[in-house]
Amino acid sequence: MAEVKDKTDQIEQGNISVHTENIFPIIKKSLYSDHEIFLRELVSNAVDATKKIHHLASIGKYKDEIGDSKIVVEIDKESKTITIKDSGIGLDAEEVRKYINQVAFSGAEEFVKKFKNVKSRDEIIGQFGLGFYSAFMVADKVELISKSYKKNQKGVRWTCDGSTSYTLENYKRKERGTTIILHVAEDSEEFLESARIRGILDKYCKFLPYEIEFEEKVINKTLPLWKKSQAEITDEEYLEFFKELYPFSEEPLFWIHLNVDYPFDLTGILFFPKLRKEMEVRKDRIQLYSRQVFITDNLEDIVPEYLGLLQGVIDSPNIPLNVSRSFLQTDANVRKISNYISKKVAEKLKELFKEDREKFSEKWADIEVFIKYGMISDDKFYERVEDACLLRNVKDEFYTIQEYKEKIRENQTDKDENLVILYASDKDSQNSFIRSAEKKGYDVLVMNSLIDAHFLTTLERKWEKTSWKRVDSESIDKLIPKDETSVSTLTEEQEKDIIGIYKELAGENDVVRAEALGQEELPVVIIRPEFFRRMREQAMLGGMPNDFGDQINVLVNTSHPLAEGLLNKEGDARREMAGQLLSLAKLSQGLLTGEALTNFVEQSVEMISKN
């Protein structure tokens, strides 16, 4: 090293004033799994010092050559040291006393106090910048050698062995800047491995604004994409950047470049992933940076859960990181930032919808989970995005909410002026009901995902005088009750008889009703009442036991000619025919399986052979 120690030049030996006893052992133990952040902290300090000298030069307060601003990280296995060198503003003796002995130390002290108060260690891991003293998480002795940019200032050397005493001496050093030498403690020798250091630098320092060199290679991109002007970036560059962040992720659908400086400072790029599997736990999450330093990718409680489905980078110095997560939820800046992101995302979605509706509809399957999740959980987002929210019917036609209401208003308003929205959760198994509805001129939406169940309750709550009914929840006449009624051709006595016949065949919990459904309907129809079905679904979602049973209602269509036909038969023939009709109803609902299905097929063949 060029620096030569001049032993005669000792300034002082002293004690750092401490209010918390034994702060170092606490620092060391407290964040065991997170020791690696020492490097983030020291490199960030080096970057800050470099920024400062550039700033001074830019305002004419520093007139000398700035020179190379590279920050160099080195490891030396022999001497067991890690060195971080910068050419920043440097420190003079006075500043070492002030910033290292006092400021840095009070920061560390505060940290320890906070740490003692948090309930869960996770609350601060990876979030809190412990600052300069995090060096003591891995080192049992730290040297700081520095020369200030100020004229006529001597170089200084400060050392501290992790106790509260330090030495400060003059030190011959020509070049401006600071060198930190960590004498790595025995239990931290993993940090002398080059792969380990490279890994840490790659995680936290990949986008720092000045070059970081390790083993003769620059490890970072000093101008990350989100800091560039949007107009200068091509689509390929956005996709390339995405690949760099998430090498194993599928290509995103689109992205939003964020850039705001008032009332808070935020830049970033959010990518919109394909979200087909709604319940997928996302590994490739949004990364949070503060002035290009990686902080965390655990944004739980920082942004609402639906925004957490996005990917990309948010960079903001305004997010307070040195507080607990529960505090973040109520922090005004954090709320404003969430709100801003939600607004930008909604704007982007609307823009895409307006620009090319057809393309938007094609992408719908990939984005609906996000939109619906957002609309369910955030009223503001609901309002913002409502116009771009699409409803898809069984014919694969897309409508906006407004268009859809208009489309069905005339035909699907019931006698009490309620708008009834019909939907199918499974186009195949509910096919016969869809067909009945279509015969009446009704439209049927597809609501087939887990999130749809919640989404439609949100819509029901938001829209006045509307109700949502699954096509198989009632007989077609009762789905949308109107004043017209079909006439039963049976007497009351006959209706009782026919109910009796089916009661014997139906399950214990099943309800059997006689109803005039109209000649064009099947002789027996099975429905699943909306209320019970939703209760059951909700219980299942909540992981509760299914106490409601799978209740089905058997509707015997008294206006079908086969109703009388059945009553004209007796004994086995009657039972056989009713059984066959009930099986057909079950079959069309997808409820006939296993042995019951096999029996039904065999019986049918037998019956056909008899005729």
Amino acid at 392: R
For ligand ADP, the closer CB: 293 or 480? 293
For ligand ADP, the closer CB: 99 or 398? 99
Can you give the C-alpha Rg of the chain in angstroms? Answer: 36
For ligand ADP, the closer CB: 132 or 241? 132
Amino acid at 388: A
Residue 407 burial class via C-beta count within 10 angstroms: exposed 0-12, middle 13-18, buried 19 and up: middle
- 45 forms part of the interface with ligand ADP (CB under 6 A): yes
As given in the structure block, the two tokens for residue 469 are: 């009914």
> Which of 24, 37, 88, 157 forms a contact with ligand ADP (CB under 6 A)?
88
> Which of 104, 200, 480, 524 forms a contact with ligand ADP (CB under 6 A)?
104
Q: How far is the CB of 112 from ligand ADP (least distance, A)?
A: 13
For ligand ADP, the closer CB: 178 or 188? 178
- 155 forms part of the interface with ligand ADP (CB under 6 A): no
Peptide bond preceding 320: is omega within 30 degrees of 0, i.e. cis?
no
Picking from 272, 249, 242, 266, the residue whose alpha carbon sits closest to that of residue 374 is: 272
Q: Of the ranges 38-46, 115-123, 374-382, 421-429, which one interacts with ligand ADP (CB under 6 A)?
A: 38-46
CA torsion through residues 540, 543, 544, 547, sign: positive
- 178 forms part of the interface with ligand ADP (CB under 6 A): yes
- 101 forms part of the interface with ligand ADP (CB under 6 A): no
For ligand ADP, the closer CB: 86 or 472? 86
For ligand ADP, the closer CB: 147 or 206? 147
For ligand ADP, the closer CB: 107 or 273? 107
- 209 forms part of the interface with ligand ADP (CB under 6 A): no
Picking from 397, 513, 488, 481, the residue whose alpha carbon sits closest to that of residue 445 is: 397
Question: 384 in helix, strand or coil?
Answer: helix
- 86 forms part of the interface with ligand ADP (CB under 6 A): yes
For ligand ADP, the closer CB: 72 or 517? 72
| Paired strand residues for 147 | 177
**Per rule CB under 6 A, count of chain residues that contact ligand ADP:** 17
Q: How far is the CB of 290 from ligand ADP (least distance, A)?
A: 11
Q: How far is the CB of 404 from ligand ADP (least distance, A)?
A: 55
Picking from 349, 267, 265, 268, the residue whose alpha carbon sits closest to that of residue 306 is: 349
For ligand ADP, the closer CB: 86 or 477? 86
Cα 457 from Cα 376, distance rounded (Å): 9
Q: How far is the CB of 544 from ligand ADP (least distance, A)?
A: 49
Q: What is the dihedral of CA 525, 529, 533, 534, to 10 degrees?
A: 140
For ligand ADP, the closer CB: 83 or 553? 83
Q: How far is the CB of 330 from ligand ADP (least distance, A)?
A: 24
Q: In the range 112-141, which residues lie near ligand ADP by CB under 6 A?
A: 129, 131-132
- 148 forms part of the interface with ligand ADP (CB under 6 A): no
- 72 forms part of the interface with ligand ADP (CB under 6 A): no
Q: Which residue is nearest to ligand ADP (CB)?
A: 131
> Which of 81, 107, 443, 475 forms a contact with ligand ADP (CB under 6 A)?
107
> Which of 100, 200, 212, 310 forms a contact with ligand ADP (CB under 6 A)?
100
Cα 530 from Cα 533, distance rounded (Å): 5
For ligand ADP, the closer CB: 180 or 286? 180
Q: How far is the CB of 56 from ligand ADP (least distance, A)?
A: 12
Q: In the range 458-497, which residues lie near ligand ADP by CB under 6 A?
A: none
Residue 302 Cα to chain centre, angstroms: 11
Cα 21 from Cα 137, distance rounded (Å): 16
Q: Of the ranges 101-109, 302-310, 473-481, 567-575, which one interacts with ligand ADP (CB under 6 A)?
A: 101-109
Peptide bond preceding 529: is omega within 30 degrees of 0, i.e. cis?
no
Cα 268 from Cα 208, distance rounded (Å): 14
Q: How far is the CB of 381 from ligand ADP (least distance, A)?
A: 35
548: which DSSP letter?
Answer: T
Cα 515 from Cα 420, distance rounded (Å): 21
Q: Of the ranges 6-14, 103-111, 403-411, 515-523, which one interacts with ligand ADP (CB under 6 A)?
A: 103-111
Q: How far is the CB of 337 from ligand ADP (least distance, A)?
A: 21
Picking from 390, 406, 482, 402, the residue whose alpha carbon sits closest to that of residue 445 is: 390
Q: How far is the CB of 235 from ligand ADP (least distance, A)?
A: 38
Residue reference for tokens 């970081």: 212
> Which of 16, 43, 46, 137 forms a contact with ligand ADP (CB under 6 A)?
46
98: which DSSP letter?
Answer: I
As given in the structure block, the two tokens for residue 67 are: 């020179």
- 49 forms part of the interface with ligand ADP (CB under 6 A): yes
Contact between residue 509 and residue 551 where contact means Cβ atoms under 8 Å apart: yes
Q: In the structure, how many helices (H) and strands (E) does the chain have?
A: 19, 22
Torsion-angle region of 301 (φ positive above 0: left; ψ -120 to 50: alpha; else: beta) = left
For ligand ADP, the closer CB: 45 or 81? 45
Q: How far is the CB of 17 from ligand ADP (least distance, A)?
A: 16
Contact between residue 51 and residue 62 where contact means Cβ atoms under 8 Å apart: no
Contact between residue 242 and residue 249 where contact means Cβ atoms under 8 Å apart: yes
For ligand ADP, the closer CB: 211 or 347? 211
For ligand ADP, the closer CB: 105 or 600? 105
- 103 forms part of the interface with ligand ADP (CB under 6 A): yes
> Which of 31, 91, 341, 585 forms a contact with ligand ADP (CB under 6 A)?
91
Q: How many CA atoms lie within 13 A of 81 on its CB side?
A: 15
Q: How far is the CB of 41 from ligand ADP (least distance, A)?
A: 6
- 589 forms part of the interface with ligand ADP (CB under 6 A): no
| Phi, then psi, of 410 in degrees rounded to 5 | -65, -45
- 258 forms part of the interface with ligand ADP (CB under 6 A): no
Which distant-in-sequence residues (6+ apart) come within 8 Å of 439 by Cβ? 476, 520
Contact positions vs ligand ADP (CB under 6 A) = 41, 45-46, 49, 86, 88-89, 91, 99-100, 103-104, 107, 129, 131-132, 178
